[in-house]
Amino acid sequence: MAEANPQQNDMPELDEFVIATVRKIMPYGAFCTLDEYNGREAFLHVSEVASRWVKNIHEFLKDGQKVVARVHRLTPEKNQVDLSLRRVSESDKKLKMEGFKREKRATKLFELCAKKMKVEVASAWKTVGAELLKNHDDMYLALEDISFNGEKAFKGAEISAEWRKVLGEVAQLNIHLPEVNITGTLMITSHAPDAIDHIRKALLAAKSTEKGGTEITLHYLGAPRYRLSVKAGEYKSAEKALEAATAEVQRLMKGIGAVEFVREAA
C-alpha cells in the first residue's frame, strides 16, 4: 500500500474537485472519505447527488464506490466538509480522475526511488520530495520534468547526485512524452492530364511541413484517397501540423483540382 504523501494538505478548499469513497449510505445522504486527504470524512447530502429528484439514493451510489465530487461547503469550526455530485460536469470528472491516477502513479514511482536509495518513504517525502515540490505543482510534473529535461529539472533543488541519478533513471524508464495522433483521409481529385504529377508534388509538400516534434505520414489508399496522419506531443501542435499540411496540398492543387480532408473519429 502506498504511503501517504506528507506534503498533502489536511483540508480541501472550497469548490475543489476531490476523489471521494462512499462509506455509508443513508436515505438522506452518504458519508464518504476523501482519498487525497488521508481519509478525512465528508458528507454528501441527497439533494446534491443528482440534478433531478432522487427517489432512491441507492440508484446513484453504492458502498465502496469512488466518485469525483465538488466541495460546495466548508465549516472549519465543525471540521465539516460537504460534497456535491450534481455540480460536477463530465469534463470535470474526467480531468480530475486522470489527474488523480497520474499522481497516484507518480507517488508509487517516487516510493520506488526511495526503496532503491534504501531510505524510508516518509523521510524521502520530507526531504527530497519537499525539494522537488518547491518548483513543481505535483510529483508527476516533477518526474515528467526530470524525464524530459534531465539536470535542468533540479535547478535550485538541494538534492544529492545519488538521488538525482535514481530519479532520472526511474523517470526516463516510466514517463514518456505524451502522444497525440490525428488521422483522416485526404480526397484529391483532378481532371488535369498530368494530375498524378501535381498530386505527388502536393503530397511531398505536405510532408515537408513537418517540424520538430511532429511527424506526418501519408499512405495511398486508392484514388482519390490518401491517408494523412499527424503525430505530436500535444493536441495543439498536432492541429497546427494538420492545418499546415492540408493547406499546402490545397495551395498546390488550387485551380487544378479539389481537396477535402475527412477526419477519423478519435
d(CA 113, CA 166): 6
Kindly report the backbone phi and psi dihedral angles of residue 225, in degrees, each rounded to the nearest multiple of 5, phi listed first. -105, 135
Q: Which three cell numbers stand for residue 101?
A: 491516477
d(CA 140, CA 215): 26
Domains and CATH numbers, the chain: 17-88 (2.40.50.140), 91-174 (1.10.150.190), 180-263 (3.30.70.1130)
In this predicted model, what pLDDT tens digit does every residue of 197-237 receive, in sequence order?
999 999 999 999 988 778 999 999 988 999 999 988 777 78
pLDDT category at 179 given cuts 50, 70, 90 is: confident
pLDDT category at 5 given cuts 50, 70, 90 is: low
In this predicted model, what pLDDT tens digit does every residue of 166-175 receive, in sequence order?
999 999 999 8
Position 228 scores a pLDDT of 94
What percentage of the chain exceeds 70 in pLDDT?
95
Kindly state the helix (H) or strand (E) to which residue 109 belongs, with its residue range: helix 90-117
Q: Which three cell numbers stand for residue 62?
A: 453504492
Q: pLDDT averaged over the chain?
A: 91
In the predicted model, is pLDDT for residue 154 greater than 50?
yes
